[in-house]
Amino acid sequence: MNQEIITRYIRQPARLPSELRARIELAWDAEPVLLYALADLDHGLMLGESWLALGARHVAVARPAAGGAWAVRTIDRGQIRAVQLTPGLSANILLLMGEAHEEPLAIVRYTQRQRGAFENIRFVLEEALAGRTIATTPADADRVYADAVARPVRDAQALVAGVLQNNAGGATMSQLRETLGTSRKYALPLLEHFDSIGFTIRDGDLRRLRSTAGNSGAQVQN
């Protein structure tokens, strides 16, 4: 379900491409990818598709290359001395720092849609720098990524459910937008997604839970 949310609403890759994953693990001498995130902004803050992958001993940054190939750069985790985050409303910048006064080992940029996936990677790296190990397994990589990216949509769905359950007559776009704490630009496609999956039903200017309208099958998706 999380992967469907990523594909249908967020409209981003639901997982690290299998051929790229194999390429990264080959460069790591068969060390498996434990976590990954999509860096969906390029250096000019335009939408793009690069990936940051985390292994037990390495980090890889993969960027598109000519001919549809990938340029993969590997960094030994032992070189990382600090992880720095510059957050923003529309763009976040993550820097992997080496020795003092040297250029960053890696710089990746991403939108809020990928914030959860990058927070997972940043947490593991920062814990490692503090001498603590976080257990992660290759089998969980796809699930952890999908959960992190889809979580804001599921959280928003729960908020909408709470409002509509307390307003049997329905709620307007303005009321739901205020509940979600976002602009109409972002609220409208999200609410239309909830309509399309049968979670809500639109009746003029109002939206109601489809279960309230007589379909008991509509539930908050986990």
**Strand (E) or helix (H) holding 163:** helix 141-165
CATH class of 2-147: mainly beta
Residues of the chain within CATH 2.30.29.30 domain(s) are 2-147
For domain 167-209, is the CATH number 1.20.1440.230? no
Please list the residue range(s) of the chain that carry CATH number 1.10.10.10.
167-209
How do residues 166-182 score in pLDDT, each as one tens digit? 888 899 999 998 888 88
Q: In this structure, are residues 97 and 80 in contact, taking their beta carbons and an 8 Å threshold?
A: yes
**Integer-rounded Cα radius of gyration of the chain:** 20
**pTM to 2 decimals?**
0.79
Q: Which residue has the tokens 């309230």?
A: 212
Burial of residue 98 (CB within 10 Å: 0-12, 13-18, 19+) is middle
Write the pLDDT tens digit of every residue in 119-164.
999 999 999 999 999 989 999 999 999 999 888 888 888 998 999 9
Q: How far apart are CA 205 and CA 162, in angstroms?
A: 19
Q: What would the two tokens of residue 101 be?
A: 């006064």
> 179 and 163 in contact (C-beta within 8 Å)?
yes
